Amino acid sequence: MKLPFLERLSFTGKKVKLKNGDEANTDAHIEERNQGERAPHPFWVIVQKEMADQIRSWRFVILFLIILLTCLGSLYTALTNIRDVAANIDANNAFLFLRLFTISDPDGTLPPFITFISFLGPLLGIALGFDAINAERNRGTLSRIVSQPIQRDYLINAKYIATLIMIAVLIFTLGFLVMAFGILATGLPPTWDEFWRIIVFMLMSIVYIGFWLNLSILFSIRFKQPATSAISCIAIWLFFGVFYSMIVNIIGGIGNEADGRFTQVLSNLNPNYLFSDITTILLTPSIRSVGPLTMEQVVGAIPSTLPLGQSLLLIWPQLTGLIAATLLCFALSYVIFMRQEIRA
């Protein structure tokens, strides 16, 4: 009985204020409308909706299960082989726990955890983003959303943030799961250094997957058909994952040895390569350099492992490279999306 009356009250209030055209008054109106219960910011409304959509979707569930199974598989291999590794390990650099993430089967049947992440991670990013915008356009929901009083960039930002949160949750779930199983099975607790290395490794994985997510969102804005954007993304992923290193090797083979630097630069343009550098350095503390070292540089060096801070310094260029690539994709999608005309 009481509520319709209130509704009408606020409605007539709105009309009066509109006639004044006074901005402060209309803001007051909005506040008045929100009183009692606080309304979330529209940006977080979209983020919430996107996350709910992802969780409900079959594709997320399927991808989650695939990645979970492969990770448990690689953990199993690591656990069966860790005894041999432990026997051979040097007592001085005893980062045995980290080896859980990097041990591969001696027969080569199952690759280690990090390989799975660097292989399936891009697929996850692409799968969650390739139809972000064009599916909405095709369903006719895009023009309805952009005609609501929100900034247009909220939509892509919110989609990006929501998917990134989902990816972060997934990566941390898996990482901690592997860690927990590792502790349970071996009875070996990680040192603080090892723990932080794993945390940083997971953060880096999120940045890496974020790059692929951004690329696929860019394609979903650019291409009208979800199939086109999916195939283009997968093509780029395959190119960098498989063919790029072959091409670099061929170029390296043509030139003489002095061109080692050149091939190094070429390789660094490959996001896959950057990520594998990052993971190797993070999870293998004994690695001291990404490139070749001359004899003069090695002279006088103490043969020990690097502390985490030094390893982080080593991967700094790779990390900034990945972030730069991500930002480039994001800037492109932003420019294209803001200029695009959205027709029903």
Residues 6+ apart with CB under 8 A from 182: 75, 78, 79, 97, 100, 188, 190
Does 344 interact with other proteins (rule: CB under 8 A)?
yes
Closer of 54 and 305 to other proteins (Cβ): 54
- As measured in angstroms, the least distance from the Cβ of 228 to other proteins is 20
Q: Quickly list DSSP for 93-136.
A: S--HHHHHHH---TTSSS--HHHHHHHHHHHHHHHHHTTTTHHH
- As measured in angstroms, the least distance from the Cβ of 338 to other proteins is 11
Rounded to an integer, what distance in angstroms lies between the CA atom of residue 258 and that of residue 255?
8
Does 334 interact with other proteins (rule: CB under 8 A)?
no
> Cβ of 124: how many Cβ atoms within 10 Å?
25
- As measured in angstroms, the least distance from the Cβ of 231 to other proteins is 24
Query: Cα dist. 20→17, 23, 26, 315 in Å?
Result: 5, 9, 9, 59
- As measured in angstroms, the least distance from the Cβ of 134 to other proteins is 13
Instruction: Pick the binder of other proteins from 16, 80, 141, 303 (CB under 8 A).
Output: 141
Please work out the total of residues on this chain that contact other proteins, with binding judged by CB under 8 A: 38
Closer of 138 and 304 to other proteins (Cβ): 138
Residue type present at position 292: P
Does 3 interact with other proteins (rule: CB under 8 A)?
yes
Closer of 140 and 300 to other proteins (Cβ): 140
Instruction: Pick the binder of other proteins from 80, 151, 286, 297 (CB under 8 A).
Output: 151
- As measured in angstroms, the least distance from the Cβ of 249 to other proteins is 46
Query: Cα dist. 50→70, 161, 212, 302, 343 in Å?
Result: 27, 9, 18, 51, 22
- As measured in angstroms, the least distance from the Cβ of 234 to other proteins is 25
Does 224 interact with other proteins (rule: CB under 8 A)?
no
- As measured in angstroms, the least distance from the Cβ of 166 to other proteins is 17
Closer of 86 and 335 to other proteins (Cβ): 335
Closer of 188 and 336 to other proteins (Cβ): 336
Instruction: Pick the binder of other proteins from 16, 69, 144, 153 (CB under 8 A).
Output: 144
Does 259 interact with other proteins (rule: CB under 8 A)?
no
Rounded to an integer, what distance in angstroms lies between the CA atom of residue 73 and that of residue 110?
8
Q: Quickly list DSSP for 263-298.
A: HHHHHTT-HHHHHHHHHHHHH-TT---SS---HHHH
Q: Which pair of structure tokens corresponds to residue 178? A: 């592997």
Site for other proteins in 10-69 (CB under 8 A): 11, 14-15, 18, 21, 26, 30, 33-34, 36-40, 42, 45-46, 49, 53, 56
Q: What is the chain's percent helix, strand, coil content, to nearest 5?
A: 80, 0, 20
Ramachandran class of 108: left when φ > 0, alpha when ψ lies in -120 to 50, beta otherwise: left
Per CB under 8 A, residues contacting other proteins are 3, 7, 11, 14-15, 18, 21, 26, 30, 33-34, 36-40, 42, 45-46, 49, 53, 56, 139-141, 143-151, 341-344
